[in-house]
Amino acid sequence: MTVTIRPVVKSDCDLVCRHREEMFRTSGHLEEVLAEMAGPYRAWQRASLEDGSYFGFIAESDGTAIGGIGGMTLDWPPHPLHPQSSKRGYILNLFVEPGWRGQGIASDLMRAVETELRSRGLSYAILHATDQGRLLYEKSGWKQTSEMARQIGSSPG
């Protein structure tokens, strides 16, 4: 079977939303959180596809979607890791259907989105890795950073 990679289009909204939900489900997120996120995410995704701020790629085999990935350009002040640029790339929503994993499709999708980021003039990108995805990213040269996170409004604990 031949796998092809094509750009995401506006009509892929439902597919991207399903891939994202499955990605989070696979990484152990609770169903009630996924249900709470579904509507707001779909509205964001639809708007981001409409205005072009979200771009990405879909992997297909015989016209059937078997994976996808997304990308964005983030406004970010010049930083020691990109001292002359006020932008960063952000990669999100990498997902490959379970029956297609282990065949290099995720790597192909990563290469496609990295090429697109470079074509947009970006020299630095970030992503958030699940435990399942970490090895793929490390094999491709990605490095762990020192990012920390906190829910704002909650008390420190």
The structural domains of the chain, ordered by start, are 3-139 (3.40.630.30)
Q: Residue 139's pLDDT is what?
A: 92
Give CA–CA dist 35/99, Å, rounded.
25
Residue holding tokens 């990108």? Answer: 125
CB 34 within 8 A of CB 84: no
Q: Residue 121's pLDDT is what?
A: 94
* Nearest CA-CA partner of 53 in 4, 90, 97, 2: 90
The answer for residues whose C-beta is within 8 angstroms of residue 130's C-beta and 6 or more apart is: 23, 26, 27
**What's CA 139's distance to the chain center, in Å?**
17
Mean pLDDT of the chain: 93
Q: Whole-model pTM?
A: 0.91
Q: Residue 40's pLDDT is what?
A: 97
Eight-state DSSP code of residue 12 = G
* Nearest CA-CA partner of 109 in 84, 81, 146, 137: 137
pLDDT in tens, 25-64: 988 889 999 999 999 999 999 999 999 999 999 999 999 9
Q: Residue 111's pLDDT is what?
A: 96
**What residue type is assigned to position 70 of the chain?**
G
Given pLDDT bands bounded at 50, 70 and 90, which one contains residue 155?
low
Beta partners for residue 126, in sequence order: 90
Given pLDDT bands bounded at 50, 70 and 90, which one contains residue 100?
very high
The answer for residues whose C-beta is within 8 angstroms of residue 42's C-beta and 6 or more apart is: 13, 17
Residue 157 has pLDDT above 60, yes or no: no
- Euclidean distance between the first and final Cα of the chain, in Å? 52
Residue 86 has pLDDT above 90, yes or no: yes
Q: Residue 156's pLDDT is what?
A: 58
The more confident residue out of 143 and 149 is: 143
Residue 20 has pLDDT above 90, yes or no: yes
Beta strands in the chain (DSSP E): 3-7, 55-61, 64-75, 87-96, 125-127
Give CA–CA dist 26/65, Å, rounded.
18
Q: Residue 154's pLDDT is what?
A: 59
